[in-house]
Structure 1
């Protein structure tokens, strides 16, 4: 049991807030809870150890590979797979701890990939990297649910992202539609974690990993109509932000809400990027085709984001106006306005970024959260820096502008600190 909790219990008994019997019951509860909790550090080292063992075996075999006959090579190719299956079966039949499940599952995962690679090399089976990754992921997907392994679920998402990047960005620039299927396979497991372990660290990892994977892969769905790529990303970040504002996620600590942070940072980044005239000139060089894959993906993303926002309204989760939640709608209108001329669009985007910065400062002040407050100030500062490079203002005016922003940083934080102290008193 935590020493701080023990000291607190002792202090409560001395101050006669609780009786000695209640103190004993509290200690017993925490001790039983600790006994039921698996050793996370041991699990991490077990997973890491099984990974290193698997990689070490591959390296040893690779060093002496040319000295073996084809029959011996085939035996070595299937040996890790058989050993991995035996260990997994033993863990299930003997009902071993979660550490056994995690370690054996990771070993078998890499054994499958190693066996596939060795067999294709021995018998000269042709194929590209993305196809190899896809088959590997699909073969190991059932293990996620069979072993209920967090490590395997993480590997599934990481390797699915790798497959989509390889297929979409490198192997002929094709659209990785099967990536959607791979994500759908792991979603029930993620939903189970949200229902049963919403405050656990492993769930927080998935709250970051899933949206980050989608952000990385979305560019692979952009083909000939590159102009839609900007709009697709803004809508995606708007969708992530609205998901992050659902009370189930929004009521948790901010660092656990990857949807909200990635959505907010992504929105600001894309708006700052589109506040430059050169980007609009590049967009206007491409034809806006309405009968294209990118246009239909944009519609799906927009309707999904709009559906999440309307659902939040129907549940009365949206109590205050937060401009971040409507950015994807506003930018969509600005984007199609910019097709005819970029001047008005650039002005509107600069005003939108400024408004978002002010609103973020207000949110930080209302919550007495210095991180959010300074994030809003940083948005305004970054906008000022961006305009520093593409305007013809004199250096004196630019200097005064920076001094004003710096003074604003100081005054805002000082006022916030004084308010917090008075509130505490």
Structure 2
């Protein structure tokens, strides 16, 4: 770096002392050091996975010609290799992230391969759900023993797939309640990453993978009263958004703050879906919705998530101010009375449309105030999608619909033109 080259000149001119120059040099060396390590970690993980797959393919090519005892030996061979190198990484390379992550990833897939091979050799009955559950339980200790962020991410993907396989694709024969236990068991490692390595790329990935996993698997708790899951999902998106707006995450960029992005997008998408009359007509047709609903998993899920979101909302109002809260953070509170009203009167869709429009207007206002083109265009995009939805949902003439698109398009152009002109004037 040029600043390091200029240090001798700055010392000679008396601008900085030798100690200060030494501290600057140490700082930049430590700052730039992990860049190479990150690339090494990535290629190390990919290399370990490819080597593991290669070993399995070589064995599989000659599988039918092997005896049962030899098959059993080869079934455990990847597992033994993985454990050996993990032990080597812990004892000889404890400070090397590349060694820890690559050997842990290899061992993770070796465990899965060994389970499937042994089951095939000895004809042990089972299904994919049982296989995934066993695999994830056996690999959970690897996360903590090896302090492996990569295994943690693969584990989260694995338990999510387990939940989908159990409750979505084989519904209603089984449930995926063990998923929630498996998720809780992995959260301490994630909290440790947030505390010790908040700016790590692995931490950023966890900030996306965990909320995505929750969004995917929340629907597994639905059953007879699926309509109540809309409240649960609105509350979940509100909770995720409030986490993203907390003091810890609020100053992070969008690419590292999956909570704020997913919470906002999820809320808007769900509101747009509910802006049509079809859902509310179906809701009013279900006369038994509130009969014996208070003991169902859907109702309990709604209450738990809403209460957690409410507590987090209270803490944010207490620490900040209600003036600093964005309307989208309050949607989960507003939606509950709208949902209840929708069971009896036919104008809930109108209230949802008004709510979406107000959120969009506030977003545009925030974008203009902060001189942020991304936020400004996000608000304009919400209005555009709302107009498109109403294009297919209303009986307006094509002339009026066309005028709506012209107005929105002109708004896009004028808002961006005004923002760019404002930036140019401030430069």
**TM-score bracket relative to the smaller structure:** over 0.9
Question: Residue in 2 aligned with 1:297?
Answer: 301
Question: Residue in 1 aligned with 2:62?
Answer: 64
- Judged with a 3 Å threshold, the aligned counterparts in structure 2 of structure 1 residues 4 and 180 are, in CA distance, closer, same or farther, namely farther
Count of aligned pairs between the two proteins? 420
Kept in 1, the 8 Å contact 2:150–2:202? The answer is no
Q: State whether structure 2 residue 350 is matched by structure 1 residue 316.
A: no
Taking the TM superposition and a 5 Å limit, the aligned residue runs for 1:27-46 are 27-35=25-33, 39-46=37-44
Shift, 1:114, TM fit: 0.7
Map Cα deviations across residues 298-320 of structure 1 (whole Å, 9 max, x no partner). 11111111111011122226442
Q: Distance in 1 between matches of 2:275 and 2:175?
A: 29
Shift, 1:104, TM fit: 1.0
Q: State whether structure 2 residue 118 is matched by structure 1 residue 95.
A: no
Q: Distance in 1 between matches of 2:155 and 2:129?
A: 14
Question: Residue in 2 aligned with 1:179?
Answer: 179
Taking the TM superposition and a 5 Å limit, the aligned residue runs for 1:10-49 are 13=10, 18-19=15-16, 21=18, 22-23=20-21, 25-35=23-33, 39-49=37-47
Kept in 2, the 8 Å contact 1:84–1:104? The answer is yes
Shift, 1:362, TM fit: 1.1
Shift, 1:323, TM fit: 0.8
Question: Residue in 2 aligned with 1:166?
Answer: 165
After the TM superposition, which of the residue ranges 22-31 and 192-201 deviates more from structure 2? 22-31
Question: Residue in 2 aligned with 1:218?
Answer: 218
Map Cα deviations across residues 361-403 of structure 1 (whole Å, 9 max, x no partner). 1111122110010000000111011101111111111111111
Kept in 2, the 8 Å contact 1:38–1:98? The answer is no
Question: Residue in 1 aligned with 2:188?
Answer: 188
Kept in 2, the 8 Å contact 1:81–1:115? The answer is yes
Kept in 1, the 8 Å contact 2:93–2:99? The answer is no
Shift, 1:143, TM fit: 0.9
Map Cα deviations across residues 140-163 of structure 1 (whole Å, 9 max, x no partner). 111111111111111111101111
Kept in 2, the 8 Å contact 1:130–1:171? The answer is no
Shift, 1:53, TM fit: 1.2
Question: Residue in 2 aligned with 1:406?
Answer: 409
Map Cα deviations across residues 145-201 of structure 1 (whole Å, 9 max, x no partner). 111111111111110111111111123333311111111111111111111221222
Taking the TM superposition and a 5 Å limit, the aligned residue runs for 1:2-401 are 3=1, 6=4, 13=10, 18-19=15-16, 21=18, 22-23=20-21, 25-35=23-33, 39-96=37-94, 97-173=96-172, 174-286=174-286, 287-289=288-290, 290=293, 291-316=295-320, 318-341=322-345, 343-401=346-404
Q: Distance in 2 between matches of 1:32 and 1:50?
A: 27
- Judged with a 3 Å threshold, the aligned counterparts in structure 2 of structure 1 residues 408 and 37 are, in CA distance, closer, same or farther, namely closer
Q: Distance in 2 between matches of 1:397 and 1:252?
A: 42
Map Cα deviations across residues 11-70 of structure 1 (whole Å, 9 max, x no partner). 9959x7944845564234312444477611111111111111111222222222111111
Structure 2 gaps of 5+ residues are none
- Judged with a 3 Å threshold, the aligned counterparts in structure 2 of structure 1 residues 389 and 11 are, in CA distance, closer, same or farther, namely farther
Map Cα deviations across residues 250-301 of structure 1 (whole Å, 9 max, x no partner). 1111221100100100111011100111122233344414231111111111
- Give the 3-state SS of the residue equivalent to 1:368 in structure 2: coil
TM-score (norm 2): 0.93
After the TM superposition, which of the residue ranges 169-178 and 147-156 deviates more from structure 2? 169-178
Kept in 2, the 8 Å contact 1:105–1:147? The answer is yes
- Judged with a 3 Å threshold, the aligned counterparts in structure 2 of structure 1 residues 304 and 397 are, in CA distance, closer, same or farther, namely same
Kept in 2, the 8 Å contact 1:235–1:305? The answer is yes
After the TM superposition, which of the residue ranges 222-231 and 369-378 deviates more from structure 2? 222-231
Q: Distance in 2 between matches of 1:13 and 1:282?
A: 75
Q: Distance in 2 between matches of 1:4 and 1:330?
A: 55
- Judged with a 3 Å threshold, the aligned counterparts in structure 2 of structure 1 residues 52 and 24 are, in CA distance, closer, same or farther, namely same
Q: Distance in 1 between matches of 2:187 and 2:15?
A: 45
Q: Distance in 1 between matches of 2:282 and 2:122?
A: 49
Q: Distance in 2 between matches of 1:317 and 1:122?
A: 63
Q: Distance in 2 between matches of 1:417 and 1:389?
A: 33
Kept in 1, the 8 Å contact 2:283–2:342? The answer is no
Q: Distance in 2 between matches of 1:12 and 1:257?
A: 41
- Judged with a 3 Å threshold, the aligned counterparts in structure 2 of structure 1 residues 389 and 10 are, in CA distance, closer, same or farther, namely farther
Structure 1 gaps of 5+ residues are none
